[in-house]
Amino acid sequence: MSGISLDFGNGGVEMQSFLQTFLPKFYRGEKWGNFENDAATFPIHDGKTLCFTTDSFVVDPILFPGGNIGDLAFAGTVNDLVVMGADPIGLSCALILEEGLDEKILEEVLKSLANLSDKFQIPIVTGDTKVMEKGSIDGIVINTSGIGIAEKILDDSIEVGDKILISGGIGEHGVALLSKRFDFQTEVVSDSKPLVSEMKEIRSLIKWAKDPTRGGVAASLNEAAVEKNLELEIWDQVLPIQKAVRIAGDLLGIDILTLANEGKILCIVKAGKSEAVLEKLKKYNSMAAIIGEVKKEKINGQVILKTVLGARIMSMPSGKIVPRIC
């Protein structure tokens, strides 16, 4: 087909190549860094660093098991800041609404935003509201951008032998959303959650962190492997996956490692500190696990999934993984 395809928006290879086409042409200034990261960084006073990030949320359906688009919009942007090592100081919230949208839905979404803002003491400080004619936009779209301040950006150099951890079960948001969209019964609910407390506890102990949203664990690990020229090995047998998530994945024929998570931290930790980090993460989620390790240096990187049957490459997801998952 001609024109922009859905694949562009999935966090997979198509989006990567689309971004590569345009991004290098943009003026970058001298002070900013971390353009390819979850949040861009700008040095401020006393050695501190300002972090800045943006995300639009187009999730379908707007309300899903375990949350709504407002929960996602708050958690998604906060998480992009905290995985960099920053303390979020404020968010923006821009609403785009479809004419005729049920005010009850809007109220529920705004209530989620207000509750999370209150709970995590991160204010929403600036906003914008646009309305488009009926049929020009599907329901509600939210953009949240966020600012954080970091004492220290997480970017310690990763070494062979470092361990890879995840802070809980994989694929829960993806399955919760698909269950609503395809109308099948499951007990799985979205894991959408601001990871402020978890990251505060572990950030001094870890080298790198990422929230594996669009494209899931597979995309996040591949990005890290490519960027840092590493071969990462993941152990299939220890991956924390709820039974109901596994069943739903089989039912739908979808690789759980490519499904979005909206409240999980993927992190890389010095081997000697991995048990300490695991212990801290388990306080929040008993499914937290050490799932692999940094195997060797490798130009352009790769991710290997070791299973009982042998090893295979865990590729960067491509194609229509799941559109409008967040």
Describe the chain by its helix, strand, coil percentages, rounded to 5: 35, 25, 40
Using CA atoms, how far residue 92 sits from 56, 68, 89, 193, in Å, is 11, 18, 11, 18
Looking at 43, 99, 307, 313, which residue binds a copy of itself (CB under 8 A)? 99
Only one of the segments 133-141, 162-170, 261-269, 280-288 lies at the binding site for a copy of itself (rule: CB under 8 A); that segment is: 133-141
Looking at 42, 65, 155, 270, which residue binds a copy of itself (CB under 8 A)? 42
Only one of the segments 105-113, 168-176, 180-188, 263-271 lies at the binding site for a copy of itself (rule: CB under 8 A); that segment is: 105-113
Looking at 147, 175, 232, 259, which residue binds a copy of itself (CB under 8 A)? 147
Nearer to a copy of itself, 147 or 316 (CB): 147
The reply to whether 45 sits near a copy of itself by the rule CB under 8 A is yes
Rounded to a whole number of angstroms, the minimum distance from the CB of residue 270 to a copy of itself is: 29
Q: Which of residues 77-96 bind a copy of itself (CB under 8 A)?
A: 89-90, 92-96
The dihedral built from the CA positions of residue 158, 160, 163 and 169, taken in this order, carries a sign that is positive
> Please, what's the largest Cα pairwise distance for the chain?
57
List of E strands, the chain: 40-43, 49-57, 63-64, 67-68, 87-98, 124-132, 140-150, 163-166, 208-210, 230-235, 266-269, 289-297, 302-307, 310-313
Half-sphere exposure of 43 (CA within 13 A, CB side): 5
Tell me how far apart the alpha carbons of residues 189 and 291 are, in angstroms, rounded to a whole number: 22
**Number of residues in contact with a copy of itself under rule CB under 8 A:** 80
Looking at 17, 20, 35, 312, which residue binds a copy of itself (CB under 8 A)? 35
Looking at 17, 20, 102, 307, which residue binds a copy of itself (CB under 8 A)? 102
Only one of the segments 54-62, 201-209, 269-277, 295-303 lies at the binding site for a copy of itself (rule: CB under 8 A); that segment is: 54-62
Q: Which of residues 109-128 bind a copy of itself (CB under 8 A)?
A: 110, 113-114, 117-118, 121-128
Q: Give the count of beta carbons closer than 10 Å to the beta carbon of residue 183.
A: 7
The reply to whether 55 sits near a copy of itself by the rule CB under 8 A is yes
